[in-house]
Amino acid sequence: MSKPVVVVPGLVRKDALAYLGEHVTIKQWTEKTKMPREILKEWLKEADALWSINNVTVDADLIADAPNLKVIAQASVGYDNVVIDDLTARQIPYGNTPDVLTESVAELAFTLVAAASRRVMENADFVKSGQWEQRPSNIKGKDLSRCTLGIIGLGNIGVSISRRARAFGMTVIYNNRKPRPDDKLYMVEYRDRDALYAESDVVLVVTPLTPETYHMIDKEAFKKMKKDALFVNVGRGKIVDTEALVWALNEGEIDYAALDVTDPEPLPADHPLLKTGKALVVPHIASFTDRTRRDMAMLTADNIILGVQGKPLKTCVNK
Ligand code: DGY
């Protein structure tokens, strides 16, 4: 009997692909350029599974002529590029990769908080350019201890970030889910959005991108934050109105931004955000450690292997 066919429309980890290849036939787009959507649709006509990647919009249109598709899986926890309802309507399970990346994303999030609050990048640049003694006196660090971190989106990653913040002596408040009895255990307190903006020294976004959270952080939101607030985003770029963020930094509505995610991505090197001189931006690397990326890719491979066999996925969004 021939093996099920899995389409992989871009580059993914070789170790996970080798493991997957023991169970299925892989048809992979290996060009450096993005796979044209029409070619992907053509390949999907014969496919049993799709290993999707986040620059592909996965919706009813993409899978319209793919009668054999049994599963779609992607190596990320976020799935804002996927119209889940369209897959559910076709009874196609969709697998993402929660949990395996929680600690890595929390580590990067808190690295951004700590590095930005002490202006580590700017200060390292002064040393590199021989300006140790001449560095401007207005680039001062800020303490985190006895300050307040406001987390927008207290899921597993948010809770993990809150543990790190408490180790630094911060108070943690949150918004974007209802208060729960175990909040006391986690030492976090609910605030409505406006109160969170007003009280937080660091506002940190780690919520999924949905129609409700699209541009949730806009001019009005920045106006409500402290003038010396640090704004951090490890969720998705489009949760923030980037023009409003540039405005807020240039007008002194907030002090500084530290971002793992931006809109657009990649962020062009001449983007106004970088010209503010008040932003630390890294290229969407929150889960990018060797161990975590391996775990994410292996989980994706497992979800595909289970899906083509008609078995429940290990992690399924639409079960
Ligand atoms: C995810 O998995 O959604 C993250 O953005 C990866 O870093």
Tell me which residue range forms the domain holding 25. 5-100+291-308
Average pLDDT over residues 111-121: 97
Q: Are residues 257 and 301 in the same domain?
A: no
Q: Are residues 80 and 156 in the same domain?
A: no
Residue 74, ligand 1, Cβ within 6 A: no
Q: Give a yes or no: residue 143 inside a domain.
A: yes
Q: Is residue 319 over pLDDT 90?
A: no
Interval between CA 208 and ligand 1 midpoint (Å)? 10
CATH number of the domain within which 23 lies: 3.40.50.720
Note the ipTM here: 0.94
CB 318 within 8 A of CB 84: yes
Q: What is the pLDDT of residues 262-291, one digit of tens each?
A: 999 999 999 999 999 999 999 999 999 999
Rounded CA-CA distance 222/253 in Å is 6
Shortest-distance atom of ligand 1 to CA 75 = 2
Q: Are residues 63 and 145 in the same domain?
A: no
Shortest-distance atom of ligand 1 to CA 79 = 3
What is the structure's pLDDT at 140? 87
Three-state DSSP class for residue 202: strand
Interval between CA 279 and ligand 1 midpoint (Å)? 21
Residue 101, ligand 1, Cβ within 6 A: yes
Token representation of residue 145? 């201890």
Confidence of residue 47 (pLDDT cuts 50, 70, 90): very high
Q: Is residue 138 over pLDDT 90?
A: no
Residue 282, ligand 1, Cβ within 6 A: no
Residue 117, ligand 1, Cβ within 6 A: no
In this predicted model, which residue has the larger pLDDT, 4 or 319? 4
Q: In testing the pocket of ligand 1, which one of 96, 105, 213, 259 has its CB within 8 Å of the most ligand atoms? A: 105
- Please tell me the total count of domains within the chain: 2
Q: Give a yes or no: residue 91 inside a domain.
A: yes
Token representation of residue 199? 């009280």
Q: Are residues 9 and 51 in the same domain?
A: yes
Q: Are residues 232 and 108 in the same domain?
A: yes
Q: Are residues 171 and 261 in the same domain?
A: yes
Average pLDDT over residues 105-128: 97
What's the pTM?
0.96
Q: Are residues 143 and 235 in the same domain?
A: yes
Nearest CA among 96, 6, 80, 4 for reference residue 50:
6
Q: What is the pLDDT of residues 183-222, one digit of tens each?
A: 999 999 999 999 999 999 999 999 999 999 999 999 999 9
Residue numbers annotated as active site: 236, 265, 284
